[in-house]
């Protein structure tokens, strides 16, 4: 197992997992932003208010979501969903969410003509896949000329990843991708394959 291990924040009565949503465009045109907005709407009263944090000329969108089902030891499971936007990999908008993540949802654009951006980011995502990190690929469909999911996944070099398609306008299908990653993250936790980030409520925000 490589050093790319999921993180978890643990308290006697609760477990907190941070799930990072990653795409290759900035937050103004970002599929991850759209994905998080739709998931926040779906979470309803189980979610905290969404926060938008300025970071290096871009913005991080995040919110908390308490899952209905506890973990196997009866702990409440709290998720922190956070977007990691931006075309430049080595910025805090991307590195901070990923460094403390329990799982990753990669949201490349399926639109034809944008595959190059996805390929640039996929080379950084691939080591997570190879390390067995909890991960899913989600394609948000908008009705424009788009790649087929299987074809684009192969083009990105992410064969073997769990792949989901969702509607960009409604978010239908996103929950399945999130649930897949959370299930894998909980499995990693139960098998002792996580880095314990400490007995804290929430990860520190970037300065």
CB 84 within 8 A of CB 98: yes
CB 136 within 8 A of CB 96: no
Contacts of 22 (CB under 8 A, 6+ apart): 32, 84, 94, 97, 98, 104, 105, 106, 107, 121, 125
What beta strand segments (E) does the chain contain? 7-11, 14-22, 51-55, 58-66, 76-84, 103-106, 135-141, 162-167, 195-198
Q: What is the pLDDT of residues 144-153, one digit of tens each?
A: 888 999 999 9
Task: pLDDT band for 39, please (50, 70, 90 cuts).
Answer: very high
Residue 104 has pLDDT above 80, yes or no: yes
Question: pTM here?
Answer: 0.86
Pairing between β-strand 51-55 and β-strand 58-66 as defined by DSSP bridges? antiparallel
Q: Which segments of the chain does DSSP mark as H helices, in order?
A: 31-43, 92-99, 115-130, 149-155, 174-190
Q: What angle do CA 99, 80, 184 make, to 5 degrees?
A: 75
**Residue of 136 and 96 predicted with greater confidence:** 136
Is 8 strand, coil or helix? strand
What backbone phi and psi angles, to 5 degrees, belong to 188? Answer: -60, -40
Q: What is the pLDDT of residues 163-201, one digit of tens each?
A: 999 888 888 889 999 999 999 999 988 888 887 544 333
Task: pLDDT band for 133, please (50, 70, 90 cuts).
Answer: very high
Residue 198 has what pLDDT?
40
Eight-state DSSP code of residue 125 = H
Eight-state DSSP code of residue 203 = P
Cα 50 to Cα 37: distance, rounded to the nearest angstrom = 9
Pairing between β-strand 162-167 and β-strand 58-66 as defined by DSSP bridges? unpaired
């Amino acid at each position: 197992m490589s050093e790319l291990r999921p993180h978890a924040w643990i308290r006697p009565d609760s477990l907190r997992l941070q799930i990072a949503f990653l795409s290759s465009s900035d937050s103004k045109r970002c599929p991850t932003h759209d994905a998080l907005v739709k998931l926040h709407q779906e979470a309803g009263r189980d979610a905290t208010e969404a926060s938008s944090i300025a970071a290096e000329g871009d913005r991080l969108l995040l919110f908390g979501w308490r899952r209905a089902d506890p973990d196997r030891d009866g702990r409440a499971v709290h998720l922190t969903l956070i977007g990691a936007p931006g075309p430049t990999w080595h910025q805090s908008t991307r590195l901070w969410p990923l460094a403390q993540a329990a799982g990753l949802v990669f949201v490349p654009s399926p639109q034809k003509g944008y595959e190059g951006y996805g390929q640039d980011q996929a080379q950084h995502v691939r080591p997570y896949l190879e390390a067995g990190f909890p991960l899913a690929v989600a394609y948000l469909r908008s009705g424009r000329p788009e790649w087929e999911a299987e074809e684009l996944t192969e083009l990105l070099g992410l064969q073997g990843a769990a792949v989901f398609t969702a509607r960009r306008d409604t978010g239908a299908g996103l929950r399945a991708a999130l649930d897949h990653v959370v299930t894998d993250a909980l499995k990693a936790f139960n098998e002792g394959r996580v880095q314990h980030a400490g007995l804290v409520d929430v990860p520190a925000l970037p300065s």
